[in-house]
Structures are given as structure tokens and as C-alpha cells.
Chains A and B, each alone.
Chain A
Amino acid sequence: MIQKKIIKKHPLAIRWFHWINFPVLGVMIWSGLLIYWANDVYKIGFGSTTLLKFFPTSFYEVFKIPYRLSEGMAYHFLFMWLFFLNGIAYVLYTIFSGEWKLLMPNRKSFKEAWQVLLHDLHIRKSKPPQGKYNAAQRIAYSAIILMGIGSIISGLAIYKPVQLLWLCNLLGGYKMARIFHFALTIGYVLFFMVHLMQVILAGWNNFRAMVTGFEVKKQIKDTGNVSEIPDAE
């Protein structure tokens, strides 16, 4: 006989922080694009060869980016507060609730993260250990916090490069601080794409947990013996 069990997974606070951050970061990236367009000098390439220009004209046109610098700045400098306050609240919560213990990579994480990658790419069959978060998740979700801190620091350095000259110097100067700020944003977009794919692959039970807070575990109940069935993926 199969029995279902409700297991608490994500605390309410973390669900709030996550779902507030999602649209806020979206607005920050959009308004950042409006700003970046006014001097869109970054590209990936070598010598005189450009492999990827940030961004192609068609991209700007699709998202209606051109000639909106003042609008972009106005939105960026409003939503920066929401991004900052929500981020601070999240970090403080993880510290004081003890959630950080489930989130921070430990000694085993870097080795195990490799196993997660191989497993996800269907190269390795056996499943790597999965607590609340597996090793790859621990690394990714901790890195994204560091990236958020990096965005705030590099953002402040660009915002007040004279009054906070020390901060600007710390990042290698004004131009370098701008590059960091931009690169981190590209990082968020890449993170989001992988994250979204993983959420889709992990399925309903996992996604529901981010909204409801609980996960459903199935158990086979024989005469007295209880054994867990791994989630259907």
C-alpha cells in the first residue's frame, strides 16, 4: 500500500523572499538594459573579431530598449531599494534561522556537485546525495547570494564613484566596476535559464514546495516495513 506524507520543505519567509526577488530582479535587469543601451560597448571576442556583441540591434528592438535612458535610471534607482532590502532580509533570515547550514557548501559539496552534473547530464546513473539541497544547488544558491552582494557593491561604486572612490578603486576603477556590474547581470540571466530548466525537470512536487512550503513523499507500507519511494522525476 502506498502512503503519502506531507513534509515541510521551504519556510514561509524564504518563499516570500524568493517570489519578491523574482519580479524585482526582472525590473532591475530591464531598467539596466535601458541604461546600458546609451553606451553599449561590451562584446566578447579577440583582437578585431567579435563573437558576441552586447546587444544586437534586433534584440533592442524586440524589447523596445532604445532612447529610454532617463526612464531606465528612474526605475533602477527605485527598485534598487527593493532588491537591496529583500536581499538583506533574506541573508539575515538564513543566518538567524539556521537555514544557512542547509545552504552553504560544505567539504563534500564540490566533489558531489560533479556527481550531480554527471547525473543531470545522464552520464552517471546513481543518484548523488540529496538533502534539502544537493551539492550543486548549495553551490549555486550560495553563489547567487555572493553575486547579489557583488551587484550592490559594484552598483554603489558606479552610482557614487567620487564619494565612494575607495569602493571604486577596490573594483579596479570606474570602468572595471561597470564591467563587473554588467557581467553579474549576464550571470543572473544564465542562472535563471538553468534554474528554470531544472525546475521544469524536477516536476510539480518540487515546484509546489516553493509555493506551498511542503513536499509530498510517497511510502510503501507493507506489514510493518516502511520504505521510501524516490520522487518520480
Chain B
Amino acid sequence: MLNKTIIGMSNFIKNIFSKDRNLNVEQLIQKKTILSFTFFIAFAAFAFWGWKWLRNQPTESGKTSVPLRKVLNANEKIFSGILSDKHLAKTFPVSKAVNSARVNGYLGMNNNFDPSTWMMNVIKATGDTLKLNLDDIKKLPKTEIVFNFKCIEGWSQITYWGGIKFSDFIKAYNLDTEAAKKFLGLRTPDNGYYVGIDMPSALHPQTLLCYELNGKPLPMNQGYPLRLIIPVKYGVKSLKRIGDMFFSDSKPPDYWADEKGYDYYLGL
């Protein structure tokens, strides 16, 4: 019995290493099958090992590991190439807009907020701070937009907003030096929510500093008195209740990217 097994095995190994022309059809089938399946199983093992490697990488920010973050950043490099001021989010007539825009989060919406003392702090390149109230903002030409607001969760809603173009704001307050930086940073007054946005997206003609929803002042839960609306990004970048605005060449802190592992760019 043992003898037979050993002879069988040695014949089998001999088959694999012998030249094809010395083998009969049966032996050839056996040889080719064994070789192919050996490669096949090796491939499967390699794929499995690669998957385990990817799953076990240390996380850099939030829940996203270093290689995955690198890929997200590489995707940004590729797809930010098609970002253009000429590519506009589709707009709709006001009648298509929903009556009550969805409120999806309360981060940065501290209850102790006092609207009467609110000022937006624009931190300039010189280090000076430009302090503006809502009337200063409203002096600039008003722009309205009705567009499909897209949440990163997957829902979208046609909503109607009014405010001033961010690019108009930059021009009106001579912030060209600041706008030459790579990123715009925004923070809520309570520092509970913060986003970073690449400057080309911030300067996109549909990006608004927004003070109206459905033709009325922003409700508190929509970021009264002033919020960002940026149609070229998922909704998480449209920060409610702007406290501080600053400009930088390095990526400003971003709540969803730093704390929760989302892509930083999130461009649409």
C-alpha cells in the first residue's frame, strides 16, 4: 500500500518534469492540470495576501489607511483637471425647489450662539483681520441659485439659495493676494465644524456666501446668518454659520477628512 503510494507519487512528479512528448494523453492532461491549478492557487493566495495587506495598513486620518488616502489624493489630481468655471451645476426654476430644505447635521451649531454679536473674521495674508457684519455682505450684488444639492450620503434635493458670489467678495475686498493661495479655510464660531476647499473650487462662479434660503433669511439650523453654498462639492463642504475665513497654501483642517476618513477634495 505504502509502496504503491510512493511509486504513484514519484511517477506523478516524474510526469510534471518530463518532456510532453514522452507522455501519453492521460499523463499530459494530468500534468497540464496540476501546473495550471498550482499557478491558479498561487494567484488566489497572492490576491488574498494583497487584500490582507491593504486591510491591515495603519490609518493616517480618520478611518482611512495611508495607501487608500494616497489613492484618494491621486484621484483628486486626475479629476481636478476637469474642474472648470465653464462647467456649471444644472440650475432649475424656483418652482422646482423644495419648501423646506433638509437639515442633516448640527455640528458647529452651538446653542449659545448670539446672532447680534456675529461678525465674520477674514484673516488676511498680512495677519490683519477684516471684520464684516451681514450688512457689509449684503451690500454686494446678490446672486441666486436653484440647484440640486448633493449630500455625500447619496440623497439630493433641489434647493433655492441667495447670497453673494465668493469671487465677487474676493474682488470687492481686494483679497487677490489671499485668493492666490491654494486653499480656503472656514470655521464655525464655536470651532465645532471646519472645512478646507481648494481655491479653484472656491472661486467657481456658483460658489456663494449665502444668507437666504427660499427668499428668506437663513433659518438658524441652516447656518444663520451666513453659510457657504458650493455646488461643485458634496454638501459637507457647504459649511453653515461662517465664523472665520482664512487662506493657506497647505490643506486647512477639515472635519470629515481629518476625523472621519473621507476624501479631502470631494469635488463633483
Asked if A pairs with B, the answer is yes
Chain A residues packing against B (C-beta within 8 Å): 3-6, 19, 23, 27, 35-36, 38-39, 41, 69-71, 73-75, 77-78, 81, 159-165, 168-169, 174-175, 178, 208, 211-214, 216
* B69 to A, closest residue via Cβ: A74
Does B262 belong to the interface (CB within 8 Å)? yes
Nearest CB in chain B: distance from A163 CB, A: 5
* A178 to B, closest residue via Cβ: B154
Residues of B within 8 A of A74 (CB): 64, 68-69, 71-72, 261, 263
| Residues A212 and B33 in contact, CB atoms below 8 Å apart | yes
Given A162-B87, A163-B268, does the pair A6, B156 have CB atoms closer than 8 Å? no
Does B37 belong to the interface (CB within 8 Å)? yes
| Residues A39 and B87 in contact, CB atoms below 8 Å apart | no
Does B136 belong to the interface (CB within 8 Å)? no
| Residues B153 and A69 in contact, CB atoms below 8 Å apart | yes
Given A4-B25, A38-B153, A74-B68, does the pair A212, B32 have CB atoms closer than 8 Å? yes
The list of the 5 closest CB pairs from A to B, nearest first, reads A39-B154, A212-B36, A38-B153, A70-B261, A74-B68
Given A162-B87, A162-B88, does the pair A216, B154 have CB atoms closer than 8 Å? no
| Residues A161 and B263 in contact, CB atoms below 8 Å apart | no
Does B84 belong to the interface (CB within 8 Å)? yes
Residues of A within 8 A of B68 (CB): 74-75, 78
Given A74-B71, A77-B263, does the pair A69, B155 have CB atoms closer than 8 Å? no
* B233 to A, closest residue via Cβ: A162
Query: Complex Cα distance A71/B69, Å?
Result: 10
| Residues B71 and A77 in contact, CB atoms below 8 Å apart | yes
Query: Complex Cα distance A178/B87, Å?
Result: 20
Q: A3-B25, A174-B156, A212-B32 are in contact. List 18 more A-B contacts (CB 8 A).
A: A6-B28, A6-B32, A39-B151, A39-B155, A69-B262, A70-B63, A70-B260, A71-B64, A71-B261, A73-B152, A74-B64, A74-B69, A161-B89, A163-B268, A165-B88, A174-B150, A175-B156, A216-B29
Number of interface residues of B (CB under 8 A): 45
**Helix, strand, loop or mixed for chain B's interface?**
mixed
Does B90 belong to the interface (CB within 8 Å)? yes
Given A70-B63, A163-B79, does the pair A19, B261 have CB atoms closer than 8 Å? no
* A24 to B, closest residue via Cβ: B47
Query: Complex Cα distance A136/B218, Å?
Result: 59
Residues of B within 8 A of A41 (CB): 154-155
What are 5 inter-chain pairs, A to B, with CB distance below 8 A? A38-B153, A70-B256, A163-B84, A163-B87, A174-B156
Nearest CB in chain B: distance from A20 CB, A: 8
| Residues A70 and B64 in contact, CB atoms below 8 Å apart | yes
Does B83 belong to the interface (CB within 8 Å)? yes
Partner of B148, one of A19, A35, A159, A174: A174
